[in-house]
Amino acid sequence: MTNAVSRLVVAVVLLPIVLGVVYLGGWWMLALTMLATVVALHEYWLLARPLAPLAPAGYVGAALALVGAEVGGIGWAVGGLFTTFAIAFLLKTISEARAAATIAVSGTMLGAVWIGGGLSFLILLREMPDHGRLAVFTVLVAVWAGDTFAYFGGRLIGRHRMAPNTSPGKTWEGFVVGTAATIFVTFVALYKQDFLTISQSVVLGAVVAVAAPLGDLFESLLKRDMDVKDTGTLLGGHGGMLDRIDALLFAAPAAFFTVLAFSS
């Protein structure tokens, strides 16, 4: 099975499951994001092993951020994340790892905020009182469409590399195709839904279209820094869990604050 076919098969199988859980919302969505967070964090700890991250602190902080987002909103989510600092400090005092405290604690905090914090914004979007379900559906499908069209667009017509030193496979042509797909999907999903205006829908699509590739590039930068190609093989052609959700970790917060700004 080629890499492209593998990516398509995984997406076709997983997307309906994820959308079904989003439809149910509540504790179902919390369970799904918690599972994704644990797997992605495990992959991140392996990736960042040279930094000697304090994994238990990261797991606890990320989990508390997700639970906080579900039961108390953004304030509780941030409070949950900041427990990572305290727990990481306590663990570092008894750790025998040679990495400096600054490096170990910073590496731990990065994982908790990046992964746990990023996915908590999906929960926060879903818990919005008006059209939360539609908002998450739109972001998920838009990110998936943008990633898919950027991938195939880059392979078919890509000539100019977007970030040759970070992610050589990405091209400006693929980015343009992916951006068009993201904005189009967002517009169609929100058309005549009494949620956002047409111009607001286009802006939201543009925000997601920019944020998602940045999330992908951020992970690519970390992988290049640590000299690895993929964070895992769990999802076939997509690589590991972290390789699959990297775009969402930037797109979800960006979408949340954009929708929040339009609602104020």
* Residues 163-207: tens digit of each pLDDT: 888 887 888 898 999 999 999 999 999 998 889 999 999 999 999
Confidence at residue 151, expressed as pLDDT on a 0 to 100 scale: 86
Answer with the residue of higher pLDDT: 9 or 152: 152
The residue segments making up the domain with residue 184 are: 3-263
CA distance 215 to 143: 11
Question: Distance between CA 31 and CA 29 in Å, rounded?
Answer: 5
Distance CA 88, CA 110 (A): 12
What tokens were used for 24? 């149910």
Phi and psi at residue 192, to the nearest 5°: 55, 40
Q: What's the structural domain count of the chain? A: 1
Quick one: average pLDDT of 8-17?
Answer: 76
Report, as an integer, the average pLDDT of 71-100.
91
Tell me which amino acid residue 148 is. T
* N residues, the chain: 264
Half-sphere exposure of 210 (CA within 13 A, CB side): 8
